[in-house]
Amino acid sequence: MTRHQKRLSAPNAWPVERKTQTFTVKAGAGPHGEAGVPLLILLRDVLGYVDSKKEARYALNEGAVLVNGDAVSDEQRPVGMFDILAFTEREEYYRVFPEEGGRLALTPIDADAADSRLGKIVRKQDVSGGATQLTLHDGANVRLEEGADEYSTKDSLVVDNETKEIVAHFPYEEGALVTAVDGSHSGEIGEIDEITVTAGSGDNTVIVETDDGAFETIEDYVVVIDENFVADEDEDGGDDE
């Protein structure tokens, strides 16, 4: 199996130039599936902190690069939507956030915001022992011994990176603040004005009100977020690439 990925066929979410070279690094096994961006691409192509895979490996072996609070040593480790990237020696912190066109970008955040990450519930199921397991969009699981009734698929959670406990819950409902993470409105933020449930196998849709008007998109394309996401964008002047 090849260790390289052709740039032209890389997922649309990857922030890479398509025509400058033929190949780029291939994502390793891990969270986010095919949408996960290899950490090397963020270090080299987005932030410019390293010039090569060799330099990336050296930097990662120092243990100063954290993803969701954990030190990472694999430059192919997939990084995806809402992950927290921390450079402890530089005291720099970023949240991975979708921008226009669906590409993932890095939004600077402060150290306190880097202590936890957002996750969208994509599956809820009963497991052994009478507990309930919530599976998030990145494949992470949260086990609940009680209180599971208040959580539903499409809701969002804020999970502490150290304890892995839920520290906030944002229901998916009309009036919720959301961002589009796919489709032609990717990166736009607004409040859900209306949820339309489609009979049969068709996709449910939502109408989202933004400061510049409204748009309609597929329900699966939106994620409920915290109002602090909007504050981050306002304070930092947008995404940093």
CA-CA distances (angstroms) from residue 122 to 32, 81, 201?
Answer: 12, 14, 18
Kindly tell me if the per-residue pLDDT of 231 is higher than 70.
Answer: no
Distance CA 62, CA 59 (A): 5
Distance CA 26, CA 34 (A): 10
Chain segment 134-167, per-residue pLDDT in tens: 999 999 999 999 999 999 999 999 999 999 999 9
Rounded to an integer, the average pLDDT of 130-135 is 95
Kindly tell me if the per-residue pLDDT of 22 is higher than 50.
Answer: no
Identify which of 67, 78, 68 has the alpha carbon closest to the alpha carbon of residue 10: 78
Identify which of 185, 188, 190, 177 has the alpha carbon closest to the alpha carbon of residue 217: 185
Other Cβ atoms within 10 Å of 81 Cβ, number: 25
pLDDT value for 235: 58
| Cα angle 89, 95, 100; round to 5 | 140
Specify the range with the lowest mean pLDDT, choosing from 94-98, 128-132, 187-191, 230-234: 230-234
Q: Identify which has the larger pLDDT, 229 or 236.
A: 229
Identify which of 44, 45, 47, 37 has the alpha carbon closest to the alpha carbon of residue 78: 37
**3 falls in which pLDDT band (50, 70, 90)?**
low
Query: What residues are paired with 108 via a beta bridge?
Result: 94
124 and 192 Cβ atoms separated by less than 8 Å: no
Kindly tell me if the per-residue pLDDT of 131 is higher than 60.
Answer: yes
- pTM of the shown model: 0.82
Chain segment 35-49, per-residue pLDDT in tens: 788 898 889 888 889
Kindly provide the b/e burial profile for residues 82-112, where b requires at least 16 CB atoms within 10 angstroms of the residue's own CB. bbbbbbeeeebbbbbbbbeebbbbbbbbeee
pLDDT value for 216: 97
